[in-house]
Structure 1
C-alpha cells in the first residue's frame, strides 16, 4: 500500500493529551503494522466562535495544500467524522480521484448533521460517495443506512478498539495506593468531558442520593473542563447542597486512566447520547462494572448483562443502577465482558481496518 492520510478534527497534543486520543491510537496501530500514514488534524479543543473559524480555516487550507502536493502518492484518505472532516476526503476524490473511507463517531450524525439542511445534505453526499463507511456503533449504522441512503454493504460496524496492553485488571489495593485513594471506600468513577451532555449534573445528584444509603462512597470526575461555566454550575450545586467526597481530578494520560479504571468499583457513563462509549469498553477490559445510559451504541455494547443500562437524564434510575453495581457479585457475566474485550481488541480492529483499506485503495 502506498501512503494514506488521516484527516481528523480531534487529535491529542502535549497540552491536550486526551483530545481525540482514540484517533491517534488507531494511527499508531496502523503505523506499527507497516502502513505509511500522515495526519492532518486539529489538536486544540479551545476557542470561541471567531477563534474556531480561524482554527478550522487554517486546518482546512493546510489539508487542501497537502492533497495537492501529495495527490499522486496517496492510496486513500481516511476521514474521522463525516462533517466537516469528510469534506476534505470528498474534495480529494472529486479533484484527484483519491478514494476514501470515513469513520462516523456519533456527534457528526446526532448533532452536526442536524444543524441545518445544508450540512445534512453535505453529510449525505460525503457518506454516499465514500468507498466505505465505518460506524463505531450498531445504531449509527442503522442511521447511516436508513437516514442517509448508504448501501448496507458499504457500512461496517467497528469501534476504535481497546488496547489490552494498557487496559487490563490490576491489583486494586496497589493502584489505590498509587493514586492516594482510600482502600475501604467504594469508588464511583466518571471519565469524559465535563459537559452537560455527559450527564455530570445528574451523576452528582445521584451520588447525593447514594450517600444516604452507602456512606462509604466517593465520586471522582476525571476529564477536561470543556465548559467552564457548566463546571462552575456543578460546583455551586455541590457547595449549596454541602455534598462531600466529590473530587475533580482533571485530565489524565491513558496509562493513568487505566489505573483509575482498575481502582474504581464502578464506572458511570450517564451520557445523553453516545456513539459507542469507548470508555465503557476500557472499563470492562480493566475488570470494572459499568453503569451507562440506555442511548446510542451503549445498549448494543452492554447487552446480555455486560453492564447495567439506565434511562438517560433520570437521577433515581442512575442512583439505583450504581447501587446495583456496587452490591452485585463482581464475577457476574465476566465471560461475556471478556468476549467483548476480545472482539474489540486492537488485533481484531486492525485486521478489519486493513481489509477495508485493501478493498478501497487505488492501485494505479
Structure 2
C-alpha cells in the first residue's frame, strides 16, 4: 500500500505533549503495522483570533503543498475532525483525486458544526464527499446519519482504541506509595481539560456532598488550565468548600496511568462527550468509572459497565460516586474487561487497516 497522509488540527509536540495525543497514538499504531504514514498537523494549542488565523493559514497551505507534491505516492488521506481538517482532504480529492477518510471526534459535530449554518453546510459537504466516515461513538453515528444525511453504510463506529501496554492493572497500594498518597484517603480522580463543559463544577459540588459523609474524600484533577475565566470561577468555588482539591497540569500517559491506578474512583461528568476514551483507559487499569449519561459515555458505560448519572446534576453525581465507592461489583469488573478487549489496539488496527486497504486499493 502507498502512503497514508494523516491530517489533524491537534497533534503533540515537546512543548505540548498531550495536545491531540490520541491522534499520535493511532499514527504510531499504524506505523507499527507497517503503514507508511506522513503527518501534517497543527502542534500549537494557542488560541485567539490572530493566532488562529496565522496557524490555520500556514497549516492549510503546507497541507495542500504536501498533497500536490506527493499525490502519486499517497493512497489516501485520513482527516481527524470533519471541519476544518476534513476540508483539506476534500480539496485533495477534488484537486488530486485522492480518496479520504474522516474521523469525527465529537466536538466537530457538537460544537463546531453548531456555530453557524455555513460551517454546518461545509461539514455536510465534507462528510458526504468522504470515502468513509469513522465516528468514535454510537451517538455520533446517529448524529452523522440524521443531521448530515450520510448513508449508514458509509459510517463506521471505531474508537481511537486503548493502549493496554500503558494502561495496565496496577496495585493501588503500589501506585499510592510511589505517588505519596495516604492509604486512608478516598481519592476521586478526573482527567481532562479544565473547562465548564466537562462538568467540573458539578464534580466539585458532588465531592463536597460526599466529604460531609466521609472527611477522607479528596478530589484530584489532571488537566490544562488554559481557560483562565473558568479557572477563576473554579478557584472561587473551591475556596467555598471544605473538599481538599489537588490540581495538576497534563502529564505523560504513563504518569496518568499511575494516578488512575491510585484512585478509588474515576469520574467523567461531561455535559457532552464524543466517546470518553479516558474512561476506557481507567477501565483498562481496573478503576471503577462514574460518568454522565451523554454521547459516547451512554454506550461505553451502559449495562453496568460503569455507573451512569444525569448530567449537570451534582446530587445525582454524588449518588453515583457514593455507589462506586461503597460497593464491590464483580459483574462490573468483567464487563469493564470486555469493553477494554473490544477497543484494544489490536482490534482497532485490524479494522482500520481493512478500511484503508478497501479504499486505497480501489
| Structure-1 residue corresponding to 2:249 | 250
How do 1:176-191 and structure 2 match up within 5 A? Answer: 176-191=176-191
How do 1:82-231 and structure 2 match up within 5 A? Answer: 82-231=82-231
Structure 2: runs of 5+ lacking an equivalent: none
Q: Deviations over 1:134-157 (max 9, x none)?
A: 000001001111111111111110
SS of 1:75's equivalent in the other structure is strand
| Structure-2 residue corresponding to 1:32 | 32
Asked if the contact 2:211/2:243 (under 8 Å) is kept, the reply is no
| Structure-1 residue corresponding to 2:340 | 341
SS of 1:95's equivalent in the other structure is helix
Q: Deviations over 1:246-301 (max 9, x none)?
A: 10121110000111111111111000100000001001000000000100011110
The alpha carbon displacement at 1:245 in A equals 1.3
Q: Deviations over 1:1-47 (max 9, x none)?
A: 10010000111111111111000000000001000001011111122
- CA distance in 1 between partners of 2:293 and 2:253 (Å): 26
Q: Which moved more, 1:312-321 or 1:242-251?
A: 242-251
The alpha carbon displacement at 1:332 in A equals 3.8
| Structure-1 residue corresponding to 2:64 | 64
- CA distance in 2 between partners of 1:45 and 1:56 (Å): 11
SS of 2:182's equivalent in the other structure is coil
| Structure-2 residue corresponding to 1:5 | 5
Asked if the contact 2:207/2:243 (under 8 Å) is kept, the reply is no
- CA distance in 1 between partners of 2:117 and 2:230 (Å): 29
Shift in alpha-carbon separation, 1:115–1:242, aligned structure 2, 3 A: closer
The alpha carbon displacement at 1:183 in A equals 1.2
Structure 1 runs (4+) greater than 3 angstroms displaced: none
| Structure-1 residue corresponding to 2:291 | 292
- CA distance in 2 between partners of 1:333 and 1:323 (Å): 16
| Structure-1 residue corresponding to 2:305 | 306
- CA distance in 2 between partners of 1:293 and 1:36 (Å): 39
- CA distance in 2 between partners of 1:190 and 1:261 (Å): 9
Asked if the contact 1:310/1:318 (under 8 Å) is kept, the reply is yes
- CA distance in 2 between partners of 1:335 and 1:211 (Å): 30
Q: Deviations over 1:146-172 (max 9, x none)?
A: 111111111110000001111011011
- CA distance in 2 between partners of 1:218 and 1:62 (Å): 47
Q: Number of aligned pairs?
A: 362
- CA distance in 2 between partners of 1:126 and 1:243 (Å): 49
- CA distance in 1 between partners of 2:233 and 2:329 (Å): 35
Asked if the contact 1:203/1:315 (under 8 Å) is kept, the reply is yes
The alpha carbon displacement at 1:244 in A equals 3.6
Give the TM-score taking structure 1 as reference length.
Answer: 0.98
Q: Which moved more, 1:41-50 or 1:120-129?
A: 41-50
Asked if the contact 2:140/2:295 (under 8 Å) is kept, the reply is yes
| Structure-1 residue corresponding to 2:351 | 352
Asked if the contact 1:76/1:362 (under 8 Å) is kept, the reply is no
- CA distance in 1 between partners of 2:183 and 2:43 (Å): 37
- CA distance in 2 between partners of 1:271 and 1:165 (Å): 27
- CA distance in 2 between partners of 1:116 and 1:220 (Å): 36
Asked if the contact 1:99/1:362 (under 8 Å) is kept, the reply is no
| Structure-1 residue corresponding to 2:259 | 260
- CA distance in 2 between partners of 1:197 and 1:98 (Å): 37
| Structure-2 residue corresponding to 1:318 | 317
- CA distance in 1 between partners of 2:248 and 2:329 (Å): 26
SS of 2:193's equivalent in the other structure is coil
